[in-house]
Amino acid sequence: MRRSSARSTATATTRRRLLAAFGTGVVGALAGCSANQPLSSDVESTSTPGSTETPVPSPDRGAFATNGTPVPVEERDQLGEWGLPSTICEAEIIEDIGIRAIVDPAYAESWAGVDIDRKYRMGFEVGDGLTDDSHVIGVTSADGARARAYPLSVVWWHEVVNDRFDGPLLVTYCPICQSGMVAERRVAGVETTFGVSGQLWQPPRIYTETAKVDGRVFGASATEGEAEARNSGNLVLYDEATRSYWSQLLARAICGEREGDRLEIVPSTVATWGAWCEEHPATDVLLPPPHSNEL
């Protein structure tokens, strides 16, 4: 478990280049492999001529015994070791990665008449900003009376939004994997703040596919809307309460005190801003920094 933090001069521009590399299957320094390489969890056993066959841990090991009964947390194998890099739990939080989570978010009825930084309005990554054709992650209150939208052109840059909407809310997006995840912002039942660790980790493929089927993660593109979530070098979150590492694709802690815990998923929708407003005319929408604060 990490007790201290490493500092880095890495910039957002450098990280964005890494994003592009991972997106095309190029080996990345932080994740350690491309999405197309075989994962240890995809292979049942390993052996060499003349040697005894060594079984590879199955994807369910560490959560359940072979008879299906739960295994105590202190006896679990670390899931982090099954993904890439397998040394993720030894990596330190990089404080100056240049991608800063949003805290104390600000909202308005629209971006009309609001001074918005150019990078959130245009660029090949995010389209033309908040127009009717822009794509948002939408969330409604449990009673359906309120609605809120998070433009993908903003979440693309900041990756994490710490909000309060029907309780503590966490909105995340990983540009490399085109994966979104919205959950309650609680760890062990206690509200906390999540940040960007600066690390990338590729889960075992079977876990990613299960997360998709279970609805814990969804695919989205800032320019195309709904898309296929990719199994690649993925955003690793950390929570300020325990400094545990969380896989964004799995909505699950992979290292630290809360290893094995899952976040409680909150229903969300990927839609165009125009369609979202038509269905929820009283919605408000996230304003990017400097209107919102950064961690």
- Please tell me what DSSP assigns to residue 292: S
Q: Contact, 153 vs 129, CB < 8 A?
A: yes
What is the mean predicted confidence (pLDDT) over 69-85?
A: 67
pLDDT score at 39: 34
pLDDT score at 22: 38
C-alpha span between 268 and 278 (Å, rounded): 16
Q: Diameter of the chain by CA atoms?
A: 73
β-partners of residue 173 are 180
Candidate from 23-37, 107-121, 219-233, 248-262 with smallest mean pLDDT: 23-37
pLDDT score at 147: 98
pLDDT of residue 2 exceeding 80, the answer is no
Which comes out higher in pLDDT, residue 276 or 124?
Answer: 276
pLDDT of residue 245 exceeding 50, the answer is yes
pLDDT of residue 279 exceeding 60, the answer is yes
pLDDT of residue 89 exceeding 90, the answer is yes
What is the mean predicted confidence (pLDDT) over 50-73?
A: 41
| 3-class SS of residue 236 | strand
Q: Which token pair is 233?
A: 């070098």
Q: Are strands 245-247 and 102-103 parallel, antiparallel or unpaired?
A: unpaired
Q: Contact, 87 vs 147, CB < 8 A?
A: no
pLDDT score at 20: 38
Say what percent of the chain tops pLDDT 70: 74
C-alpha span between 106 and 95 (Å, rounded): 24
Q: Which token pair is 90?
A: 């030894």
| Cα R_g (the chain), whole angstroms | 19
pLDDT score at 76: 52
pLDDT score at 97: 85
pLDDT score at 79: 85
pLDDT score at 128: 82
pLDDT score at 3: 28
pLDDT of residue 47 exceeding 50, the answer is no
